[in-house]
Amino acid sequence: MFHIVEKYKTPAQIILGVICLSFVFAGGYSLAVPGSDYVSKIGDIKIKADDVNDFQRRLQNASGNPVNKQLAYQTLIDQAYIQQGAYDMNISVPISQIKQVIASDPSFQENGKFVEAKYREFLQQSGMTEEALIDGMRKQYAMQTMLNLMKAGNVVSDVQARQMINLLQASRQLQTVTFPATNFASRVAVDDSKLKAYYEANKKQYFMPQAVKYEFVELSAAELGAKEKVSEAELQEAYNQIPASASAPKPSLESVKTQLTQELQIRKGAATIAKMKETVSDLAFNNPKTLQPISDKLGLQIHKADQEWVTRDMATANGMPKALQDALFGNEVLIKRNNSEPVDLGNGTYWVVRAVDVRTEHQATFAEVKAQVQQDYVAAEAKKLATNSAKQALDNLNKGNTANLEWSPSADLTPQQAMAIMSKGDFQLWMKARPANNKPAYILITEQQNPILVKITAIKPPQDINNVLPQAKQIISQSLAQNLAFSNLQWLKNRYKLKQGAQKLDTVDEQ
């Protein structure tokens, strides 16, 4: 919320920012106009509907992107709190300093000297008086000074920076033992009462989405073209059309003969498809419940995809073209159970598809999904047994009883790598584990497919820690400054009561 004010961090940048952004804080100049109605008021600062609209337009012009009106309004509210705080602290800048800033701005100079005419031209083009410019600069300077005070007091020591680097970049030297849940599956006792209880507890998991089993015939330019013959004359003509240049000599006909043959066959296949499409479309339409007439007349094989149910999500995940999905899950095929029109899949390939069976979305009964419930129940119980075994091993290790475990070879793992493969809970546990007194630290990772016992033997800080130390201190300082600024802004909000005026914001955003 402070990004606009933070852009101008020195007095010399204040005027530059005002010029470059066409007075994006122009609303601030009109806030102090007495006797006007307002949307909101903080202390003596009034925010009018016109201020918000103007601020929104200027932000959009500066960024080239739409800006939400409520966001523009909230930004002006935050600025008003800061501005009122600056007024109460009597933060001001002398006129001599403002004049110096104006005179030193490169936009008003030639050969390093201030040119009065350029300055006056700017005022004329901006439609403002010198008094308004100076008043605006005073307000903006006061706000920036106040904001700097709100963010002050965040000195970062080398110790803090090193701690952050070790926390975020130090790798852990570790070994692991995995407890495969499948090894415990044979110990799981199964009966219908347990399965039914598991089904009831996880009923939502067995909601069946709409799905289809289907068959199709395929028109393929490559496949049909492969049956076509290519004459020597056609090859020669295609070869003659290959461009040649001094930098790239034309290859011999013999070296490109196979490639040219395939290209010509694909062209012939595409031409054949163009002739066949109308016939295929007519046969599909006149025999809507079967693909057999298409197969019989044109010699096209009927391909079956009727072994497993296919949902739309599955089709998307498997990369099925959208045009085919729209046909397969559309009203004509899925509901009416008719043949589709030839669907263009690209690369000279067309499908005519038909639903063999359709499953409506429904809550599956226990009988329908008993086999799946049993598989899920056994997997869940087996993991519990594996986790209990891993916990017992961990308990033994923490008691100094080195269990007979087959540890993996030692390896290094960085926090970034750990974050990519662990859940949030496991990662936090991993980060907290620290070897001490020449003894390793042990943790149990449970939020994986199989529980994993981890032995951390050492924490290795980055080798170039001294090189990254300045950057780390800067990052910490910026974070502390931002947090401090937010805290002080909340203090200002508690100190100054926001009053609502008679004006209302337009409900439609400015574009």
Contact 372, 379 (CB under 8 A): no
- Chain Cα centroid distance, residue 12: 38
Question: Could you tell me if 129 and 39 are in contact, meaning their C-beta atoms sit under 8 angstroms apart?
Answer: no
At 36 the pLDDT is 53
Residue with tokens 């200027």: 58
Q: If we measure between CA atoms, which residue out of 339, 217, 355, 340 comes closest to residue 273? A: 217
Return the closest-CA partner of residue 279 out of 306, 256, 299, 250.
Answer: 299
Q: Give tens-digit pLDDT for 36-54.
A: 578 899 998 888 988 888 8
Give the residues across from 174 on adjacent strands: 411, 456
What CA–CA distance (Å, rounded) separates 226 from 222?
A: 6
Measured CA distances, 320 to 325, 328, 346, 378, 423 (Å): 7, 10, 12, 33, 31
* pLDDT value for 10: 44
Position 310 scores a pLDDT of 95
Which pTM does this prediction carry? 0.51
Q: Give the model's pLDDT for residue 336.
A: 95
Counted residue by residue, the chain has a size of 511
Residue in this structure with the two tokens 């410019």, named with its chain if needed: 133
Q: Residues of the chain whose pLDDT is less than 70?
A: 1-36, 153-156, 163, 165-168, 246-247, 403, 465, 468, 472, 476, 507-511
Q: Which residues contact 443 (CB under 8 A, 6 or more apart)?
A: 394, 429, 430, 433, 453, 454, 456
pLDDT computed for residue 28 by the predictor:
40
Q: Are 291 and 302 in contact (CB under 8 A)?
A: yes
pLDDT computed for residue 15 by the predictor? 40
Q: Which two tokens stand for residue 118?
A: 């350029």
Strand ranges, E, within 2-42: 40-42
The dihedral over CA atoms of 289, 294, 299, 300, expressed in degrees to the nearest 10, equals -70
